[in-house]
Amino acid sequence: MEKKDTAPVFLAVILILIGAWLLLQNLGISLLNLGVWWPVLPGLLGVGLVSRYFANACQPGRSGGGLFLIGLAIALLAFYNHNLFGQDWAKAWPVLPLLIGLSNGITWLFHWQRWSHLLWAFIGLAVAAVGFAFTGGRIDENMLLQIARLWPVFVILAGLGFLVQGLLSRDSDSR
């Protein structure tokens, strides 16, 4: 039995909902203050990607992207509606690499053979940790610059990760 692609249906529903909301706004009927709730939109897209992943588990990138968008929606709702980080992006930016790290880490847990997800998880979490330490005043600018000089470590880790992945896939192919 052939699996059907649900992307056109999901996109159609999203477009219909956005169009209906815009039409109601133009007619002077305000059902929802989009200024407060707009971050829900990337969350809905994320839910769609995650649900498509579970319907067809052969594309792990969809689950990671969907998890990122869901986390982004939650972070944006908290930022704009609950004054997270005092609504100061200079303090809040480490949330983005944190979400990249978490979404890739969770994706790697479901697809542990894909070492690139683990690498992006470590990079995202490391950048977030340093970013939060800097924006929270735990490390000063000189220390940040010293840490930033070590970025080639991630290139070395990427090479080691791909080497291990290649060796493991070769071992599993020979069995």
DSSP line for the chain: -PPPP-HHHHHHHHHHHHHHHHHHHHTT--SS-HHHHTTHHHHHHHHHHHHHHHHSTT-HHHHHHHHHHHHHHHHHHHHHHS-GGGG-HHHHTTHHHHHHHHHHHHHHHH-TT-HHHHHHHHHHHHHHHHHHHHHTTSS-HHHHHHHHTTTHHHHHHHHHHHHHHHHHHHHHHH-
Instruction: Give me the pLDDT at residue 1, please.
Output: 47
- pLDDT tens, position by position, 94-151: 999 999 999 999 988 888 777 788 888 988 999 999 999 999 999 999 998 998 898 8
Q: What is the pTM of this model?
A: 0.69
- Domain positions in the chain: 33-174
User: Given this model, what pLDDT does residue 40 score?
Assistant: 83
